[in-house]
Structure 1
Amino acid sequence: MSAKATLSFCMLASLVLASMASLADTAPSLREAASTEPRLARPPGTACEVPLFKDHAFGQTGDPKAMTATPLAFDYRPPEGCAGPWAKVVLEADFSVPAGKQYDRTASIWLGGANLYFGTTQEPDAKNGARWHVERDLTDYAALFRSARPGQAIVNNWLSERYTSAITGSARLVFYPVGAGAPQGDAADAVYPLGADPRGNATIVQDGRETLTRTLTLPRNVTQAYLDVIAQSQGNDEPWYTCIDDAHVAQTQTFALESPYEGAPLQECGGGNLRQVLISIDHQPAGLAPVYPWTYTGGVDPHLWRPIPDIQTLNFAPYRVDLTPFAALLDDGRPHDVSVRVLGANRFFNLAASLLIHQDAKRETLTGKLISNDLAARSGLGTPHVESTLHAASDGRIEGTVNTTRKDSYRIVGQLETSRGTVRTEVAQVSSFANRQTFVRPDAPTWHQVIDQTSDTDETATTRVGNAAAIERHRTSSYPLRLDVTKHVAKDGSFHGEIDMTQGLGVRKQTLRGGDRVFDGHLDVSMQSHDEADFNSMGSSIANSRNQHASQRLSFKDSLGSCVATTLESRGEEMTHVTQGNGCDGGSNRLDWRSTLMP
């Protein structure tokens, strides 16, 4: 397919697929990074915009692996003539990178210390650059936008004679005022970022002991508290799902897709492969969150992700942890430490977290108690169970399995005396993690490894006001991943690799009142990608790549009437097929503006 034909197809796909939003006309080598994620639906009424930055080129000279890029500072002011209240607030951002050579880079946008966006960038190649559009529903963060605040954007991009491509970006906040058919959004009354930078920045933790911590003295009328957290793996931890416990590193090292060095994919890293986020209040465990195994566009094999990046790669979704049972403790007028750490971290993770609180509008001081906290009594948090059948066959070839598992459950209950009466909140969570690695040597030159990983979380928050019917909010999350790699090694040490990667994201949310359903929604996203590549004798670069094909599917339905079904398919690193609306009424996608796909 010619370059001109490629551009025409991408332009057509942008019209068909809402998520493939175009920037202004660009060179034919700049193509869309495709995603099934739709644009956020908007409420009726005329929106107003506040630009944060526009057409800024991110890139500076220096060490291409450094993590100290100079931020782009900006100062935010509320929209004139559109001061709120707002029905919805949306962050929109557009990025592009020209053809050339560049790493996938971490990108983030911050305001008043709070994270507005976190993701990574699309890697270009020698012939094709990329452009992409991201959005995030920030209605819950509306309290941030009512007054002027400092902010900054950070794209950790470095330029050199070898890494030549700058990354250009623009971002804006879009406000939708309350009006007919668009009631005020259910925003938090205040947002407290945990980071120390007044503009905002991620906090690096190198291991499972280091924390992102902030000491907060909150208003004495907090009724609900939630923590939004993002844990982004980097460095040695970038492919954390491929790591293995230290006892089995030496035996399995020769199955690696690349030669041993920090950051190489597939089996160079020790330290195990269990990663969990632990939230604590005053050093008391207060909640657990799973870590999504994001794979960046340079991860495992860059040819797997052109032109369809893996799930959420360009736009991470934070995980929300319900801390409401601790409201009475937080209401005592004293300073409290709120901290986040990544159990199992092994060089290193970026952390971002913001505490969102709701307050009692009719009382300035609330009392209550933390009734029970099973999680505080749990021992061995972050310690997995590891079983191995690795053994040497008669000819000395290593084969067998290494299975890593962990199950956790807890129940936390709190009570609060409010203007509505006595409120009792119970948060219960059950989670399970399994990483099963299989190593096979069918013959001397062939090395075959399969990683099957699952991470499932089932959480229920139950709230009862006095003797009224209980409100139950259920959320289940499923993060399946499978990586299947076969390499055929030649006598000179070069090898041919066959790589298949499958990943998924499943989320279901349900709200019940007195046992009757109030809301139900289900999101399912899956990604399958294949490549065959020739590696040089060091295994650190790909000489040839062929037979690439990939597909990504998204299905979303909820009780508000939303139905979205999108399938993308590619072959030979070119988009080949886009399908929309299968299974939806009239064969068309529909997304209600009140719906959210955010896990």
Structure 2
Amino acid sequence: MVHSFGNSYGDPSIGSYTPPECSFNHVTLNLTVEAAGRQFDRLAVAYLGDVEIWRTSTAEPTHAGIIWTHLKDVSHLLSLFVKPQQLVFDLGNLINENYTSPFNVTLEATFFQSVTTVDPADIIVPVPNKRSAVTFENPSHYPHVTVGDSIVLPRNVERAVFTVAATGQMDEEFWYSNVFSSNTLTFGPDPLPSHAPFREIQLLIDGQLAGVVWPFPVVFTGGVVPGLWRPIVGIDTFDIPENEIDMTPWLPLLCDGESHAFEIRVVGIDDDGQGKSQLSQTVGSYWVITGKIFIWLDHAGSITTGTVPTLAAPVPSLKLFAEVGLDSNGTNQTLTNVIDVTRNLSVLSQVETSKGIKTVSWRQSLTYSNWDYISDYGVTQTTVQHTNGSAVSSSGYSQTFSYPLFVNSTAVQDKVAHTLFISAAIERGQDIEVYGQPVFPTGLEPFNDSVEYLSGDPQRHRAFVGSRLSTTQNGTALYFRHENVSISPGTTQQDLAFYGIPACDPKAGPSRHVELYRRHVVAVNDTLVEDQRTVHGSKANVQLLAKSIRQGP
């Protein structure tokens, strides 16, 4: 696909895809974008048929112009690429006297054979069904917090995993800094974003809670202060993550040949200001939500049966504290919100396929805390958030994660002088450890047939049984705008490390992790000043000095 997105809200690129005339078990996508002028960051979603295959966002360009490229392994979607499909790329953009830059996008695919590959699903079913950017309303305009469909699954399903993509926009873009519903008018008649700084994405099957996602706080390239993200972008900004929920325990119910309701719901927390709180029925506007059901089939003609799932999903523990501080005149000067949430969920059943009867289960355990302090009559805000969790499937897949976040920002606007000043500091991280094979490629695929970096038995079938990705970002930046002229100097540093967990000891601690890749990058005032990379213990690049963003990353 080659397409220029100008005034493109409700006007996606629509094309066709025909499989190549070659044998392949791997597919990678290369997305390259060029832009020059003034523009917001924009959300983009690519579909093959009605299935979302990539959710990304754009950088904010300079007048001189920028270019960026991102590669994505989509081999887990192999069943989509083996037959002709409609290709839809939806990137809503606006061109006017203030926002002048189109986004010129090229999307390419590479097909190849490899001995290292994931086990792709036989069928992928989108939720909502038949609702790509062409066949339904533009998903960038969803005002919804709930989407879903009634779907009939095949009767011979052996394994099924549900994945969720959910992105907050507008009032929900900075959901992690929202205030309690009882405090929205603390600093005047203009309400602050509400429903608390906590979001849970729920999967419901026939009205029963089947699993949850506590989202990673994605910060886009215009987020907090634009100068933080030039040319280093926020974690996951160009490849917005999906999370998986194993729904195999539900197969005895779902393989009866009848229609079943799948619903994705976004909830926050509502409180009455008197100490009582509960999960909300709605949140602000808006979230972009899609789901997929990955299905692995048993032999043709077989029927999956078993016991009714046993679900244990108690209401999460919610602890809220709020305090308003007054100045000497009795005017609200500060607001403190503190919240702690704990959630445990498990589902268990007996599933019978042509291979016999087995016990299958899905378990989640999550904890969340947020301390938020707004001072100077609403001018300065400090947020400290910690999100931690684990998920375990009887299939052998498990994941633990940690998402620490600190943001401090001060914003002063003078409407008479037409000026806006923002200063901010941010520290954030993402630490994910995975055992077994998730739906998505882990990054271990190129290494798993190699024993070059390990000691022990060279005859092991797989070098690694798990992976760990650990990355942190910290930075400070300023923003000053007078009418339509703005500047945003800043400094940002990122450190990333990727490890393999050896098969010889699945319970190995950090000392047993094998470092496969490491990168350290520093950017100052739109300029990359340090870029150090180590691959398999060998330095691939030395420090770069005064390399301009205009020269490319």
Per the normalisation by structure 1, the TM-score is 0.75
How far did residue 394 of structure 1 move? 3.7
Matched, 1:292 2:244: no
Alignment of 1:150-161 (within 5 A): 150-161=86-97
Q: Would you say the 8 A contact 1:296–1:313 is kept in 2?
A: yes
* Percentage of pairs with the same residue: 22
Correspondence for 1:65? none
Letter of the 2:423 partner, please give it.
Answer: E
Correspondence for 1:385? 319
Q: Do the aligned partners of residues 543 and 96 (structure 1) sit closer, same or farther apart at CA in structure 2, a change above 3 Å counting?
A: closer
How far did residue 216 of structure 1 move? 1.3
Q: Do the aligned partners of residues 132 and 531 (structure 1) sit closer, same or farther apart at CA in structure 2, a change above 3 Å counting?
A: same
Q: Give CA-to-partner distance per residue, 1:168-195, whole Å, 9 cap, x none.
A: 11112222225xxx15630001000113
Q: Would you say the 8 A contact 1:69–1:157 is kept in 2?
A: no
Correspondence for 2:244? 320
- From 50, 75, 95, the equivalent of 2:16 is 75
Q: Do the aligned partners of residues 542 and 290 (structure 1) sit closer, same or farther apart at CA in structure 2, a change above 3 Å counting?
A: farther
Q: Would you say the 8 A contact 1:195–1:203 is kept in 2?
A: no
Q: Do the aligned partners of residues 184 and 401 (structure 1) sit closer, same or farther apart at CA in structure 2, a change above 3 Å counting?
A: closer
Structure-1 separation of matches of 2:142 and 2:53: 20
Q: Give CA-to-partner distance per residue, 1:107-126, whole Å, 9 cap, x none.
A: 11101101111011001133
Structure-1 separation of matches of 2:54 and 2:188: 36
Letter of the 1:552 partner, please give it.
Answer: Q
Structure-2 separation of matches of 1:203 and 1:440: 34
Q: Would you say the 8 A contact 1:226–1:356 is kept in 2?
A: yes
Which segments of 5 or more consecutive residues in structure 1 lack a partner in the other structure?
1-52, 62-67, 255-259, 261-266, 464-471, 590-599
How far did residue 203 of structure 1 move? 7.3
Matched, 1:436 2:367: no
- From 140, 146, 153, the equivalent of 2:76 is 140
Q: Do the aligned partners of residues 415 and 393 (structure 1) sit closer, same or farther apart at CA in structure 2, a change above 3 Å counting?
A: same
How far did residue 495 of structure 1 move? 7.1
How far did residue 71 of structure 1 move? 1.1
Which segments of 5 or more consecutive residues in structure 2 lack a partner in the other structure?
269-282, 438-461, 503-513, 542-553
Greater Cα offset, 396-405 or 107-116: 396-405
Alignment of 1:117-516 (within 5 A): 117-126=54-63, 128-177=64-113, 182=115, 185-197=118-130, 199=132, 202=139, 205-206=142-143, 208=145, 211-252=146-187, 268-344=192-268, 345-361=283-299, 364-375=302-313, 378-379=314-315, 384-394=318-328, 396=330, 398-399=333-334, 401-441=336-376, 448-463=380-395, 472-486=396-410, 497-511=422-436
How far did residue 158 of structure 1 move? 1.6
SS of 2:253's partner is: helix
Q: Do the aligned partners of residues 437 and 224 (structure 1) sit closer, same or farther apart at CA in structure 2, a change above 3 Å counting?
A: same
- Count of residues paired in the alignment: 486
SS of 1:142's partner is: helix
Correspondence for 1:47? none
Per the normalisation by structure 2, the TM-score is 0.81
Matched, 1:575 2:521: no
How far did residue 230 of structure 1 move? 0.9
Structure-2 separation of matches of 1:531 and 1:187: 43
How far did residue 522 of structure 1 move? 0.6
Letter of the 1:525 partner, please give it.
Answer: T
Correspondence for 2:41? 104
Letter of the 1:120 partner, please give it.
Answer: S
Letter of the 1:585 partner, please give it.
Answer: G
How far did residue 544 of structure 1 move? 4.7
Structure-2 separation of matches of 1:232 and 1:525: 21
Alignment of 1:32-47 (within 5 A): none
How far did residue 332 of structure 1 move? 0.9
Letter of the 2:159 partner, please give it.
Answer: Q
